[in-house]
Amino acid sequence: MNIVLVCSAGMSTSMLVEKMRKAAKEEHVEATIQATSEADLGRFLDQADVILIGPQVRYLASKIESQAGPYGIKVAVIDPVYYGLMDGAKVFEQARELLK
């Protein structure tokens, strides 16, 4: 499973990425989880299964969905509560639910 988190500069999600990696490891799920800015998202489109968008840039959702659509990538905005709490396990669960 390849998950890409998108925020304005790719920085604010770095702590969340680490917590998501820990959750994946605890659940024995092989996952690659990375953060990027919207401007650099194109580099990840050929390898992503899920794109999660930071709530602070939810206005980019339709643009990102149109970019991801041809690749069959699932896209969602991260639940703002889970993002605010930096709850990596819940955000990881959100990504897994998208793939079901």
Q: Annotated catalytic residue: which of 5, 6, 7, 48?
A: 7
Judge whether 7 counts as a catalytic residue. yes
- For residues 81 and 55, what is the distance between their CA atoms, to the nearest angstrom? 9
- For residues 20 and 69, what is the distance between their CA atoms, to the nearest angstrom? 24
Angle between helices 88-99 and 14-26 (to 10 degrees): 70
Compute the 3-state secondary structure of the chain and give helix, strand, coil in percent, each to the nearest 5: 55, 20, 25
Catalytic residues: 7
